Amino acid sequence: MRVDTLTVGMFQSNCFVVSCGKTKKGLVIDAGDEGDRIVEHVEGLGLKIEMIIATHGHIDHVAALPDLASAFSVPIGMHENELPVYQNIRQQAALFGLEPPGIVEIGKFLSDGDTITVGELTGEVIHTPGHSPGGISISFAEENPPAIFAGDVLFRGSIGRTDLMGASSRQMFDTLKTVFLKLPDDVVVYSGHGPETTIGFERRTNPFLLEASQWGL
């Protein structure tokens, strides 16, 4: 599995191009801005994009979806619970004084446990609410090293905000405890902002994971 990280837009969001080296098939996760740049990067790699996934519907993770939908005739996937957040993008843009991007049709609703196949790569959709109601992560547990694309749930040394539309501190700590703390230490975490990290490093150093380990006791 090859992972190309493009940090895009004023919010410095991470867009990931995940590809299978053997088949040259790929997917794009979180096309947050600079759609032309993302498309150019994909074309430079010579990839056949199989799917575009939004881990959640905040503007900094979906603003380039119209550009990618125009460039690649593939489904755009999102959790159904996230649709109200995505459809609220005009209000999201207004909060930051931005022009609202267009909205595209979500061609595939992704649910917990769904399988994502890209060439010889196999990922699993995990519903990870907290930062947003329909937030999802994509786990590639069979890769070496294993990896998870966590959206804005878990960052290096921190976690996502829980004061936005549809967010929930309770759900966030449930997700951290029942999903992320159960992953092996060697899992690489690709976050929606900032550098990659590992579950082991966060388990030892992230104060929010330390708090989540006691959640519900």
Query: Could you please report the per-residue DSSP string of 108-123?
Result: EE--TT-EEEETTEEE
Can you name the residues that pair with 151 across neighbouring β-strands?
A: 191
Q: Which of 53, 92, 95 is CA-nearest to residue 72? A: 53
Taken in order 195, 198, 200, 203, is the CA torsion positive or negative? positive
CA 121 – CA 12 distance, rounded (Å): 27
Distance of CA 178 to the CA centre of its chain: 18
pTM of the model: 0.96
Written as tens digits, the pLDDT of the chain (217 aa) is 999 999 999 999 999 999 999 999 999 999 999 999 999 999 999 999 999 999 999 999 999 999 999 999 899 999 999 999 999 999 999 988 999 999 999 999 999 999 999 999 999 999 999 999 999 999 999 999 999 999 999 999 999 999 988 899 999 999 999 999 999 999 999 999 999 999 999 999 999 999 998 886 5
Fold exhibited by the domain 2-212: Metallo-beta-lactamase; Chain A (3.60.15)
Nearest CA to 52 out of 81, 30, 35 is that of 30
